[in-house]
Chains A and B, each alone.
Chain A
Amino acid sequence: MPIGSDIFTSLEEIKESQILVLVIPDKQYTDRLQGIVKELSNNYQSICYVSLNRPYRTLKKNFEENRIDIGKFFFIDAITKTAEIPTPTENCEFISSPNALTELSLAISNSLERKKFDYILFDSLSTLLVYESDIVVTQFVHFLMAKIRVVGCRAIFTCLKQDLDSVLLKDINMFADRVIDMEYWSPDGSR
């Protein structure tokens, strides 16, 4: 079982959270994320995967290798267009780059209004911080989280542990339901 699994089935408090921010140590990031994706696909029917780190093609290959049902996912890919002109794909919307926040915001908002998602997985807040200042990212995430609440969706935002002390993370604690440091999290609730 990949680490990161069982996150929804273990702690009632986490299950009840509409918006979670998961802080993941750099070295565990890929495994944890994969565990979360697997857990989402096992428990929910419709997931929107916002990827600011890996292109759709890589994600698709990874899903196939790990027998994750890609049919349950709709992708918003902010990476592919930075390197090539993407082939139009039914279950993916391509954004010009991770710092095109207006475009990204519109793509997510339109998707939320067109489709009924059980979950949004946002990978990751740390990537936004590479391109924009704390304050710009905080404003963007504040409105995005509010939008998710208003449409009744749920969301997981990921963030690298190195950003734990950033202004963004401290501000986001006001807008999210829980910020969880995954380094010390375990399915039985012990820390």
Chain B
Amino acid sequence: MKEIVKKQLDDLNKRLESLDKVLIIAPDDFLVDTMISVVRNLSKKHYGIYISLNKPHTTINQILEKNGIKTEKIYFVDCITAVVHKTIEKDKTKRVLFASHPSDIRKGGTIPESIDKFIKAIPNEKFILVDALRTLLIHNEPKHVSEFIHNLARISKEFKTKIVVLTRKDHDEELIERISPIFDEVVRIK
């Protein structure tokens, strides 16, 4: 990882504890490093609900473990596996819920329903991480993505849950501008 990116991530992690809702915009080739850094930091104190849109939860779990992050406190809403695999093996850890499709984000959809189940089931301090806003926009209308993010903000307030939304830079600036006021801070990794 470039030293300059590492420094920005270190600075972000120092502030993260005091922020409730953060949007992080990173270059596409540093998105995974950014995710690892944030999860490593937050999972020390909090339980995590990881909304995996980019890759199946098994891959994300491997990435986290390979980077020395303990994943026992990370719960997954896997939004991709059910689309591509007819038979989903039952998750023995009970840390995974499978959403039907990355586009199932509207009220009553399998993504918000799964988030709701985990939010209610985990009594401790927790964070929700969405990887990535850009992927939601590949599969959804911007207005539905905007509603989904607003709903996360409501959850943050109601359940005292930290929200971290990742996205890649150089795209979707119009929507980012529109939803920016929801967040305590919009961090741009350069």
Residues of A within 8 A of B131 (CB): 174
User: Are B84 and A143 in contact, with the CB atoms below 8 A?
Assistant: yes
User: Are B138 and A135 in contact, with the CB atoms below 8 A?
Assistant: yes
* A171-B134, A173-B28 given; A150·B85 CB < 8 A: yes
14 contacts between A and B (CB under 8 A): A18-B59, A109-B84, A135-B138, A142-B54, A142-B135, A146-B84, A149-B55, A167-B171, A170-B170, A171-B138, A174-B28, A174-B54, A174-B132, A179-B29
Report if B122 contacts A (CB, 8 A). Answer: no
User: Are A147 and B84 in contact, with the CB atoms below 8 A?
Assistant: yes
Contact with B along A52-78 (1 / 0, CB 8 A): 000000000000000000000000000
Residues of B within 8 A of A146 (CB): 55-56, 80-81, 83-84
Residues of A within 8 A of B (CB): 18, 109, 135, 138-139, 142-143, 145-147, 149-151, 167, 170-171, 173-175, 179
Q: Which of B45-60 contact A (CB under 8 A)?
A: 54-56, 58-59
A139: contacting residue among B84, B85, B139, CB under 8 A: B139
User: Are A170 and B28 in contact, with the CB atoms below 8 A?
Assistant: yes
Size bin of chain B's contact surface: 20 to 34
* A138-B138, A142-B135, A146-B84 given; A170·B54 CB < 8 A: no
Q: Which residue of B lies closest to A113 (CB)?
A: B86
Report if B168 contacts A (CB, 8 A). Answer: yes
Residues of B within 8 A of A150 (CB): 56, 58, 81, 84-85
Main secondary structure of the interface of B (DSSP, over half): helix
Report if B31 contacts A (CB, 8 A). Answer: yes
User: Are B168 and A173 in contact, with the CB atoms below 8 A?
Assistant: yes
Residues of B within 8 A of A (CB): 28-29, 31, 54-56, 58-59, 80-81, 83-85, 131-132, 134-135, 138-139, 168, 170-171
Besides A150-B85, A170-B28, A171-B134, 4 new A-B residue pairs in contact (Cβ under 8 A), listed by A number: A139-B138, A149-B55, A173-B168, A174-B28
With the chains together, A167 CA to B59 CA distance in Å? 24
With the chains together, A146 CA to B101 CA distance in Å? 12
User: Are B83 and A173 in contact, with the CB atoms below 8 A?
Assistant: no
With the chains together, A171 CA to B59 CA distance in Å? 18
Residues of B within 8 A of A171 (CB): 28, 134-135, 138, 168
Residues of B within 8 A of A109 (CB): 84
* A143-B84, A150-B56 given; A170·B138 CB < 8 A: no
Q: Which residue of A lies closest to B166 (CB)?
A: A174
Residues of A within 8 A of B170 (CB): 170
CB distance from B15 to the nearest CB of A (A): 24
CB distance from A187 to the nearest CB of B (A): 21
